[in-house]
């Protein structure tokens, strides 16, 4: 035992106990911070639990440290402690730790928050210490040297701030050193014990002072305090480990469910539900592969476009189920009629495409068309009737007629229409003089170049409705081209051209700017509406995207929360790695992001977890089939629960009937959009409807123009994320 003289009353320190008290403080800080870090990584339901657990360990630790520190001090008299005050000091330590962890771990640790957290933690440690000292029943009372007392509190606040910074800042910055958390805990432990010993140094025990009444700290209490500290650390480590195991099991289950949905979606994405044939997307994939092979010298091929003659008549007179039956039989016959390496796909309705490999001449392709026609023309029994089916077939050849996907398909279509015009029941190879589509497209392209400067674009808006309340808090902006000769053109007729030519960038910038302008106008008129803007894949990847968005927001002084970006699933999932970075930048800007046409791509669903996305928009094709096809219903259900698990909202697109809405409501879908509530219309036309159903107006909200909520710990107002 080493002793040294410091106080007026002769006091010595047991250096073993001093060392033990510091070690306990460090251990406890490390365990508590590790536990609190869970608060950051964990979803909402368990946050409270981890905050509370961390607060208990840290609080008990600070408190134990204090009493072991007191025991380390040997004085000529025995100190007696007032029990209620001592227990109160424990409560203060726990409450302090709880407050500090909440502040540091449940939001972005800005400088203000950090300072606030340091004040709470540092002040609380000081308060606990001096309350613990006040619990000593001694006469005359302890006096304190003001300078040392102030130094102990200041030290406590500074070390707390630094420790919170080291521990809770790294999560925002993945490059930060992994030892930062450990260093933070060591610093916190040193801070707690430093405060204690500075506080002791500040205390002045008068010689001849008498302590009586209350509880005496003897070796029993020493052991009990150490046991309490060690026990709480152990208990928390145990709970934390058990939980980690449980979490791992949950993640495994989740991953296998994701794989299952993934496979289902992939199948659904590549196949036609009615006939089981590959669909349009799958066909494009095979066509691309065939083009690649052909360019590598592995043989020419032909694309056949088929359209049944008079199918509509059969469908209308015999009913849909007979029509479906017929399509299934046609699909079966087509599959039999072609060779194993060829592809038959169903586009839509009664349109099919066939990819025939190794076809060298129009005559060879004609022979394939003949055999298909022959297979289809055999009588077919539908219910009690015998039906005769015939078909019109258009053929385009690679490399003779075209050498890109689009032109091959367009030419096959062109030839098919030509065969139809000649009365059907025939096939036709593409010929240059049929080239109407390409000309029309060329025309459109040159018009499109001038459309922006001539002010021919307009935005229409479609409300998005809260399923439960029927209120509207956002609209989707949909682009319209007022063509001088052709009238209003829907985006699908010109956006692909705009994307191919790069014109989508200036057009997209105009859309952003116009949408922000409209949102601002509405806001000025007391109507708070978030506007969702569609971004094309090209815009999403373009390096100037953030500046364009910032400029649009800035020009109209619009809060970022009032702008939402819709990005299609395929755009986000292509190069998912770099998408994560772009999405993170957008989310940091404060604009909302949703994934459009969800379910139509080939999503690697495990990526969804990593995307900072606010909502998923279920594609209209699912909504349309949901009530007829049980499989689709299941997928919609799976998407909704998956999104909710990942804390995302779900919007259903293309809702046209009350029945669809009822089903979506039953499945817990958050919002919907569709003709049932309203078609897209110009701002002037839609405004009265928005006003009648608006969820919020500027009158309801604070001056910041976004809905605000106060966080539970009473910090500054935060903009709300939900609609």
Residue with smaller CB distance to ligand C2E, 356 or 465: 465
Residue with smaller CB distance to ligand C2E, 491 or 715: 491
| Residue ranges in 508-537 that form contacts with Mg ion under rule CB under 5 A | 534
Pick the stretch among 102-110, 277-285, 596-604, 712-720 that binds Mg ion (CB under 5 A): 596-604
Provide the 3-class DSSP secondary structure of residue 485: coil
Residue with smaller CB distance to ligand C2E, 482 or 609: 482
Pick the stretch among 152-160, 234-242, 597-605, 643-651 that binds Mg ion (CB under 5 A): 597-605
| Spatial CA neighbour of 463 closest among 679, 634, 212 | 679
| Spatial CA neighbour of 68 closest among 14, 31, 143, 26 | 14
Residue with smaller CB distance to ligand C2E, 416 or 635: 635
- Nearest 5°: the CA angle 116, 119, 123 is 155
| Spatial CA neighbour of 615 closest among 591, 635, 633 | 591
458, β-bridge pairs: 480
> Residues touching Mg ion: how many (CB under 5 A)?
5
Residue with smaller CB distance to Mg ion, 30 or 672: 672
CB of 552 to ligand C2E, least distance (A): 13
* Interface contacts to ligand C2E, rule CB under 6 A: 462, 478-479, 490-492, 495, 508, 511, 534-536, 566, 596-597, 620, 653-656, 673-675, 680
CB of 574 to Mg ion, least distance (A): 17
Q: Which does 463 bind (CB under 5 to 8 A by kind): ligand C2E, Mg ion, none?
A: none
Q: Which does 536 bind (CB under 5 to 8 A by kind): ligand C2E, Mg ion, none?
A: ligand C2E
Q: Which does 492 bind (CB under 5 to 8 A by kind): Mg ion, ligand C2E, none?
A: ligand C2E
Q: Are 228 and 90 in contact (CB under 8 A)?
A: no
Residue with smaller CB distance to ligand C2E, 16 or 675: 675
- Nearest 5°: the CA angle 666, 670, 675 is 90
Distance CA 266, CA 348 (A): 19
Provide the 3-class DSSP secondary structure of residue 381: strand
Output DSSP code: residue 350: T
Provide the 3-class DSSP secondary structure of residue 472: strand
Applying CB under 5 A, among 597, 625, 670, 687 the residue interacting with Mg ion is 597
Distance CA 304, CA 478 (A): 35
Q: Nearest 5°: phi and psi at 532?
A: -100, 130
Identify the residue whose tokens are 């594609």.
Answer: 619
CB of 300 to ligand C2E, least distance (A): 35
CB of 553 to ligand C2E, least distance (A): 17
Applying CB under 5 A, among 566, 569, 614, 625 the residue interacting with Mg ion is 566
139, β-bridge pairs: 210
Compute the 3-state secondary structure of the chain and give helix, strand, coil in percent, each to the nearest 5: 60, 15, 25
Q: Nearest 5°: phi and psi at 606?
A: -65, -20
CB of 681 to ligand C2E, least distance (A): 10
CB of 645 to Mg ion, least distance (A): 22
Residue 309 touches Mg ion, criterion: CB under 5 A = no
Applying CB under 5 A, among 342, 596, 614, 723 the residue interacting with Mg ion is 596
The token duo for 383 is 């219910």
Residue with smaller CB distance to ligand C2E, 300 or 654: 654
The token duo for 679 is 């078609």
Residue with smaller CB distance to ligand C2E, 499 or 629: 499
Distance CA 138, CA 16 (A): 26
- Where on the chain is the footprint of Mg ion (CB under 5 A)? 534, 566, 596-597, 653
């Amino acid at each position: 035992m080493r002793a040294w003289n410091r106080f007026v009353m002769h006091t010595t320190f047991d250096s073993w106990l001093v060392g033990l008290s510091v070690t306990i403080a460090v251990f406890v800080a490390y365990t508590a911070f590790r536990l609190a870090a869970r608060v950051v990584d964990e979803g909402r339901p368990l946050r409270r639990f981890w905050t509370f657990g961390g607060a208990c360990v840290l609080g008990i630790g600070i408190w134990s440290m204090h009493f072991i520190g007191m025991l380390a001090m040997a004085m000529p008299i025995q100190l007696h402690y007032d029990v209620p005050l001592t227990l109160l000091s424990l409560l203060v330590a726990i409450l302090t730790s709880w407050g500090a962890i909440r502040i540091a771990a449940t939001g972005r640790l800005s400088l203000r928050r950090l300072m606030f957290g340091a004040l709470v933690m540092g002040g609380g440690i000081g308060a606990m210490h001096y309350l613990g000292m006040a619990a000593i029943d001694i006469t005359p009372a302890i006096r304190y040297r003001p300078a040392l007392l102030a130094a102990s509190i200041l030290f406590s606040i500074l070390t707390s701030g630094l420790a919170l910074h080291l521990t809770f800042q790294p999560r925002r910055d993945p490059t930060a050193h992994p030892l930062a958390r450990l260093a933070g805990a060591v610093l916190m432990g040193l801070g707690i014990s430093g405060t204690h010993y500075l506080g002791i140094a500040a205390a002045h025990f008068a010689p001849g002072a008498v302590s009586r009444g209350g509880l005496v700290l003897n070796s029993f209490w020493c052991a009990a305090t150490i046991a309490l500290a060690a026990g709480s650390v152990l208990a928390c480590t145990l709970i934390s480990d058990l939980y980690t195991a449980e979490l791992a099991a949950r993640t495994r289950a989740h991953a296998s469910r994701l794989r299952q949905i993934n496979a289902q979606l992939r199948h659904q994405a590549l196949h036609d539900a009615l006939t089981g044939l590959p669909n349009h997307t799958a066909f494009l994939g095979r066509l691309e592969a065939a083009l690649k092979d052909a360019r590598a010298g592995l043989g020419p091929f032909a694309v056949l476009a088929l359209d049944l003659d008079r199918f509509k008549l059969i469908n209308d007179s015999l009913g849909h189920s007979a029509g479906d039956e017929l399509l299934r039989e046609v699909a079966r016959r087509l599959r039999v009629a072609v060779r194993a390496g060829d592809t038959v796909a169903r586009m839509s309705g009664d349109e099919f495409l066939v990819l025939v490999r190794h076809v060298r001449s129009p005559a060879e392709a004609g022979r394939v068309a003949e055999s298909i026609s022959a297979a289809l023309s055999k009588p077919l029994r539908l219910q009690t009737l015998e039906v005769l089916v015939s078909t019109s077939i258009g053929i385009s050849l690679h490399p003779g007629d075209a050498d890109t996907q689009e032109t091959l398909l367009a030419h096959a279509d062109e030839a098919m229409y030509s065969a139809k015009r000649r009365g059907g029941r025939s096939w036709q190879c593409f010929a240059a003089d049929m080239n109407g589509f390409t000309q029309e497209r060329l025309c459109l392209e040159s018009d499109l170049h001038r459309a922006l400067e001539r002010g021919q674009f307009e935005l229409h808006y479609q409300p998005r409705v809260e399923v439960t309340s029927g209120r509207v808090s956002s609209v989707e902006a949909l682009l319209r081209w007022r063509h001088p000769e052709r009238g209003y053109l829907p985006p699908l007729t010109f956006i692909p051209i705009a994307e191919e030519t790069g014109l989508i960038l200036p057009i997209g910038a105009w859309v952003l700017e116009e949408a922000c302008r409209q949102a601002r106008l509405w806001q000025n008129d007391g109507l708070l509406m978030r506007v969702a803007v569609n971004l094309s894949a090209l815009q999403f990847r373009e390096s100037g995207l953030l500046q364009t968005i910032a400029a649009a927001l800035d020009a109209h002084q619009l809060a970022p929360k009032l702008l939402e970006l819709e990005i299609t699933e395929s755009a986000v999932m292509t190069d998912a790695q770099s998408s994560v970075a772009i999405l993170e930048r957008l989310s940091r800007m404060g604009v909302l992001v949703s994934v459009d046409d969800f379910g139509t791509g080939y999503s690697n669903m495990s990526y969804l977890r990593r995307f900072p996305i606010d909502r998923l928009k279920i594609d209209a094709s699912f909504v349309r089939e949901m009530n007829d096809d049980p499989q689709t219903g299941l997928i919609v259900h799976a998407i909704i629960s998956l999104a909710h698990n990942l804390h995302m909202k779900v919007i259903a697109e293309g809702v046209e009937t009350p029945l669809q809405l009822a089903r979506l409501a039953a499945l817990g879908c958050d919002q919907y959009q569709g003709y049932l509530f309203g078609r897209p219309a110009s701002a002037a036309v839609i405004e009265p409807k928005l006003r009648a159903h608006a969820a919020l107006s500027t009158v309801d909200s604070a001056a910041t123009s976004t809905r605000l909520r106060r966080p539970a710990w009473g910090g500054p107002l935060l903009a709300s994320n939900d609609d």
